[in-house]
Amino acid sequence: RMVTDYGGCMAPMNAYLTGIGLDTLALRLDRITSTAQQLAEHFAARGVAVNYPGLASSPYHEVAKKQFGNRYGAMLTLRLGTKEKAFDFINHLHYALNVSNIGDARTLVLHPATTIFVHASEAEKAAAGVTDDLVRINVGLEDPEDLLEDFQQALQQI
């Protein structure tokens, strides 16, 4: 009767694990958003076209600042010039995984045009801001210095 009145119920072990995850959520968000900000600033300082609302140059910065304070999220995108450079960049990374998830504890990268937007029309891709040279990065919990070094060496390879 409870399921029909209130909906699905978590298994006890799942509820326990979710509770444990919630205990450290604020700490993880602090680390992830701080690292994402560092990466975005690093890319911007090197002339890479980066989209991240934590950058003052972002057209969304003021809105994001009002809504999120100093936590601008874990996701950023790069424009690397060509599809080939985007793939070269991804293929030269050592720490980041080439996976389409978001919200993982590990840093994930992907090429949206050939993964999550593969079946979208050109008009739909354009409306979503998806280009052939776009790389999406979802920042995880790795050491920021390790990630900066890895992304820098991958940039140097393209």
Tens of pLDDT, residues 98-108: 988 888 889 99
Tens of pLDDT, residues 15-34: 899 899 899 989 999 999 99
Q: Is the pLDDT of residue 7 over 90?
A: no
Q: Tell me how far apart the terminal alpha carbons of the chain are, to the nearest angstrom.
A: 60
Q: In the chain, where does DSSP find H-type helix?
A: 2-6, 12-23, 25-45, 61-68, 83-91, 122-128, 144-157
Residue pointed to by tokens 């399921």: 3
- CA distances for 14 relative to 1, 10, 24, angstroms: 21, 6, 16
Domains and CATH numbers, the chain: 25-157 (3.90.1150.10)
